[in-house]
Amino acid sequence: MLREAFAGAGWEVPRLMAELDRTPAFYFDSITQLRMDSWSRGRVTLTGDAGYSPGPAVGGSTSLAVVGAYILAGELAAAGGDHARAFQACERKLADYARRSRVFALNAARRLVPGSRFELWALAQIGRLVSVAPRGVSRALAKLSSHGVRLHDSIALREYARAPAAVHQSAVLAEGP
């Protein structure tokens, strides 16, 4: 598959393809987003990367995981431990945020991984220009590319009341000694 994808690429690619046959420690995988209709089934829910599939290698998954854990804990407390109600509320509150994170990640990956020689050249030129640009220009460019930061700062978090002591006690009893 790799040889077919990189056939005729030139530069050092033929040598690198030859090295594939000689190395015992080669790992190759795709970067994939899995999307589910629901993050939970029964008493189990997925959080973080496993549930929200925020994006292929472009950041934001830690923010989404922390926000998701906070909302899940708050909704479990608000539901008095009723996991089904809490899971549904958590998904309702996070669904749009997670969807926007996935869209941002896919778009960012497309910009960061050149698809042609021209795109590779253009990306290198932009990198060179940014490194020598006056500070004001660099700041303006950073502001233009800060959509991901704004996205991950955009969710409104509510203050949750502390869970009643009975909910805390039942959790401790469920864990055992």
pLDDT in tens, 65-77: 899 999 999 999 9
36 in helix, strand or coil? coil
Give the pLDDT confidence score for residue 53 in this predicted structure: 81
> What is the chain's mean pLDDT, rounded?
81
Q: Above pLDDT 90, what percent of the chain? A: 21
Give the pLDDT confidence score for residue 163 in this predicted structure: 64
User: Residue 74 region, left (φ>0) first, then alpha (ψ -120 to 50), else beta?
Assistant: alpha
Query: 101: burial class by Cβ within 10 Å (0-12, 13-18, 19+)?
Result: buried
**Angle CA(52)–CA(61)–CA(59) in degrees, nearest 5?**
135
Where is average pLDDT lowest: 23-37, 48-62, 90-104? 48-62
pLDDT single digits (tens) 132-170: 878 887 777 666 665 555 676 778 888 998 766 655 555
Q: CB pairs under 8 A, 24+ apart, for 76-79?
A: 76/163, 76/167, 77/160, 77/161, 77/162, 77/163, 77/167, 78/160, 78/161
41 in helix, strand or coil? strand
Does pTM surpass 0.85? Answer: no
* Cα 20 from Cα 8, distance rounded (Å): 17
Give the start-to-end residue ranges of the domains of the chain.
1-30, 37-113+146-175
Where is average pLDDT lowest: 46-50, 99-103, 108-112, 121-125? 108-112
